[in-house]
Structure 1
Amino acid sequence: MSSGPAAPDWPAAPQALPRHQGPAEGLPLHDSATLRRWEAEAARGLPPHALMARAGAAVARLGRALAPHARQVWVLAGAGNNGGDGLVAARLLQAAGLRVRVWLAAEPASGDARWALAQARAAGLAVLPGGPPQPPADLGPDDLVIDALLGLGLSADRAPAGPVAAAMDALDRLPAGILAVDLPSGLIADTGGCAGRAVRARWTLSLLGLKPGLWTAAGRDHAGAIWHEDLGAPAPAEATTPRLLDAPACAGRWPQRPHAAHKGSQGDLWAVGGAAGLSGAIELAARAGLAAGAGRIHAVRLDPAAAPPSHPALMSRTPQALQGEALARATVVAGCGGGAAIGAWLPALIHGAPRLLLDADALNALAADPALAQALRLRRTSAVLTPHPLEAARLLGCTTEAVQADRLAAVRQLAQRYGAMVVLKGSGSVLAAPDGRCAINASGNAALASGGTGDVLAGWIGGLWAQGLDAWDALRLGVWSHGAAADAWQADRGPGQPLDALRLIEALQDLPRR
């Protein structure tokens, strides 16, 4: 059954993300203060209400594209500009022939939103102000719900309450897909945290600029598929603006392999760890470095009684072998399964390894020893740290909850404190460099939540770095491709299947290197 003609003069469809084209450094991710300033500046150069009209039209067009068989739409609108965007969308969707009902949390507070409400009422739109939000009784799975309650109008210290909270409760029980305007209500734009609770949307249309919180912490679970519309006024970016780490941002960054390459030209990777009872971790790191393409892989086990590596291409070494010329040309991945024994070897590695990645127990040793931290800060060459949230909390002397409350702030603090490039692992891994560069990874999924995948990441980054990439490119490419391998696995088998570490290495080898 046809759902009516298209509304006139709608703009081009918003863009789906991740995209297949974009800036070399990745799409910028703007914090809420920057976007509010830019919105006010952009609005001054446009006719009254133009930005809201564009935003509402973009929401309506995307809603029609995402729910092409919808016969009705339920719009939940807040009192701010987010609600105004929803009211514009509701009017246009009604003009397109759909049955539209609007629940309004309160009378609009801004001039633009009051204009949008007046336009909606003049068009005969059914707007129900306040009262308990009651969805249409016959709302079905093909229909559309639009969450236009809060958007940027939320802070971490102010949880949704009153009618807005009641509306969010109503959204939890609906069969229809939810399209969030700008942000799922309750999600904090800058951090990805939730102010008490947040809507779980199937899709999110981020307006004007992309927000960091959509991509990290709870963002990925709540935002669903993310789309972007810059409203013809893209916000400017600076060198320290976080960037989205996706396929376009990593395109062309793989190590080049000339025809005359040989194992000696592809770098030496030394994986140091494997204390008593922990030998599996260091072999996983070494195997990942081999899969990445490093020329010679040395597995250095700190347990002298450990059996040699099971893979025939890995060379078994003692820690004493990593000195002099060997150390001077090495890329070292230290700490995987290192136990307490790794601490004794870190001073020499920090002072002598030109390329040093610290993971797992090496990070714990670093957190416990101020002298090691000072030595790391004084290094003249690059270092990379790969903590998960608990390790990051130890390095910062705070709680895991504090780290997770603002992952961007935490990773930047780590990069500054230790003078190193850092990836804070987790949903939406966050990367930072001491010079202020920052990125949030768009790839990866919960299939990586299994033992050993972090060891694989460390070795994989080290293997890329050993082949001549600079540290920032090796870190970005390593983190993104690690997640992309899990995405390929999930696309092949469906969600919910964990990816064990050995199969992850195979999935990494299977990735196209473009």
Structure 2
Amino acid sequence: MLQRVHFDHDHPLYNTAATRTLEAVGIAATGPHVLMQRAGAAIARLAVAIAPHARQIWVACGAGNNGGDGLEAAALLKNQGLNVCVSWLGSPQTAPQDTQRSWQKAIDGGVRFVDQVPDDLNEQDLCIDALLGIGLTAGDDARQPSQALLALLSVIRTTRATVLCVDLPSGLIADSGQLAPGFEHANASAATPGKRHTLSLLSLKPGLFTGAGRDEAGTVWLDDLDLSQGDLPPSSLLAGAPASQHRPHASHKGTWGDVAIVGGEGLRERGMGMTGAALLAATAALHAGAGRVMLAPLDADLLQLPGEQPEIMLRRFDMLELEKITVVCGCGGGNAVRNVLPDVLQRSQRLVLDADALNAIAAEAPLQALLKARSSHPLHITAMTPHPLEAAQLLDTNTATVQADRIAAAQKLAERFGCIVILKGSGSIIAAPHQTPCINPTGNARLATGGTGDVLAGLLGARIASMVTTHDHTELHANAFAETRKACWQHGLIADKWPEFSQLTASRLAQALTS
């Protein structure tokens, strides 16, 4: 059944191996060529829906079965009386058997095969990208695209026509959302001027929603080709909108927990004042509904707060009862945060680690040991919010490796340190031990400005602080994972709803939070 992917509920995501399993089961159940016929019919239906006034439809087909899906769709569209032409990189002699049958159907139906791409495609027309689909994997490093393939892809990237990608935008790796080697240049030009759609077949793939995938895919659609996914577990989830939180009338500030922000290195330490980061996190926790918010700056000279935030209470670090509050540590912490991290890691029951706290832990093995030891305390909650560079340092690797498989990197971090992880970026990854990793679909480039990560840390602190106390550690950690998902969703949703011509700053983001 053809459906547009909305974010009102969770969607299961299946990696390439799982999708291949679904495909094999489907072929065994339906017989040869049936799935390709269903795929072609789904492509044709969506093509007419998104470009109902197209004067011409150009289909770019690869040599494999993704190209076969495109050939099948071309035959169906031609049968509807539409002006269709095809550029095919395959040949009848070498094509897979199902693709041969769809090619013959296109030939018999009078579809035009062209050597030259139409040069007069306009905004009303349609281009169908059926070049590669899920034919590329992260292990294809040595596989370089042909010049003929890159030439077609260049046209797809620059056409004014609406673009419909079959299964995946060509060159995108299904599992990671990264562009395969050799495709970076072809896909690095300005985004397609026309509207962009992707029809994912059989299953939704993780790469459509993280990394480069969100820009490449555009609006995502799914057709399961009338096959059930059965008991096959998803490799990850696309997070849906969380339920709204009800605050009972008979609650008080203690109901919603205390949050303490520990961070904000002052000018005295290195001449690089970063107290604003800690204040942003505190402001976010306040506006996110924490019962009380305390700020323990790492600058002894910060004795007063701006007058517009009188609700935030100043504390010396040594006056914090770390065992009884939710601690957010690291925002603007600089080098000074190293002095307090041993206490924070050993005594805090609920802890969010961000920014310079993560940098310090990555650099010092004793701090890593203290972080790992927290997982042996069943009632301790630990969350971290690294960006890719911080994640790379914690994993003793490089940013390119983290970005090459963001889901795997986030899960590895979660398992290594026994904590919840938000790996920030386009399609942030939320991972935790014994949980299916999630991709958050909200947020956009408006968040690419200083301080928005501090806001996320403070928001997460408020979410974790509001959790009901329980001595069932399984339930406690499941609840913490759910609250982390909510925080990430809410943070991105504000950016998505922000007025188009109004700058989103971190302080405005923090003030826009509601519990």
Give the TM-score, by structure 1 length: 0.90
1:450 to 1:237, Cα distance in 2 relative to 1, 3 A: farther
| Residue number in structure 1 paired with 2:343 | 348
Deviation at 1:169, TM superposition (A): 2.0
* Equivalent residue, structure 2, for 1:48: 32
Cα pair 1:298 1:316 within 8 Å, conserved: yes
State how many pairs are aligned.
479
Match of 1:191 among 158, 165, 176: 176
- Quote how far apart the aligned CAs of 1:447 are: 0.4
Give the structure 2 partner of residue 358 of structure 1: 353
Q: What is the rounded CA distance, in whole Å, between the counterparts of 2:288 and 2:232 in structure 1?
A: 32
The equivalences for 1:317-328 within 5 A come to 317-322=315-320, 326-328=321-323
Aligned partner of 2:260 among 248, 270, 276: 270
1:304 to 295, 300, 306: 300
Mapped partners of 1:286, 1:275: distance in 2: 15
**1:339, distance to aligned residue in structure 2 (A):** 1.1
Report the counterpart of residue 127 of structure 1 in structure 2: 113
Matched residues in 1 for 2:147 and 2:435: separation?
A: 40
**Structure 1 residue 239: Cα displacement:** 5.9
Q: In 2, are the aligned partners of 1:142 and 1:176 still within 8 Å (CA)?
A: yes
Q: State the alpha-carbon separation in 2 of the partners of residues 374 and 238 from structure 1.
A: 37
The counterpart of 2:118, out of the listed 132, 136, 148, is: 136
1:433–1:359 CA distance, 2 compared to 1 (3 A)? same
Aligned to 1:485: 494
* 1:206 and 2:206 correspond: no
Shift of 1:240: 6.6
In structure 2, the CA distance between the partners of 1:239 and 1:152, relative to structure 1 (3 Å rule), is closer
Is the Cα–Cα contact under 8 Å of residues 263 and 298 in structure 2 kept in the other structure?
Answer: yes
- The residue correspondences of 1:216-231 to structure 2 (distance < 5 A) are 216-231=210-225
1:162-181 CA distance string (max 9 Å, x none): 32122112223322111100
In structure 1, stretches of 5+ residues that fail to align are: 1-11
Q: Which residue of 1 aligns with 2:325?
A: 330
Specify the SS of the correspondent of 1:508: coil
Counterpart-to-counterpart distance in 2, 1:391 and 1:467: 27
For 1:36 and 1:261, the matched residues in 2 are separated by 51
Contact 2:237 2:438 in 1 (8 A): yes
Query: d(CA) in 2 for partners of 1:333 and 1:69?
Result: 54
Give yes or no for the alignment of 1:176 onto 2:164: no
CA RMSD of aligned residues (A): 1.7
Report what 1:8 is aligned to: none
Gaps in structure 2 of 5+ consecutive residues: 267-272, 469-478
Q: Which residue of 1 aligns with 2:369?
A: 374
What is the CA-CA distance between 1:410 and the residue it aligns to?
1.0
Please state whether the residue corresponding to 2:48 is helix, strand or coil. helix
**Aligned match for 2:11, one of 1, 23, 27:** 27
* Equivalent position amino acid for 1:121 in 2: I
Check whether the contact 1:450–1:498 (CA below 8 A) recurs between aligned residues. no
State the one-letter code of the partner of 2:404. Answer: A
Q: 2:287, 2:512 within 8 Å by CA — same for their partners in 1?
A: no
Asked if the contact 2:329–2:357 (Cα under 8 Å) also holds between the matched residues in 1, the reply is: yes
Aligned to 2:129: 147
Q: 1:503 aligned to 487, 505, 508, which one?
A: 508
The equivalent residue for 2:5 is 17
1:75 match: secondary structure: strand
Aligned pairs for 1:221-260 within 5 A:
221-236=215-230, 241-247=235-241, 250-252=242-244, 254=245, 256-260=246-250
For 1:97 and 1:318, the matched residues in 2 are separated by 76
Kindly state the Cα deviation for residue 246 of structure 1 after the two structures are TM-superposed: 2.9
- 1:139 corresponds to which letter in structure 2? L
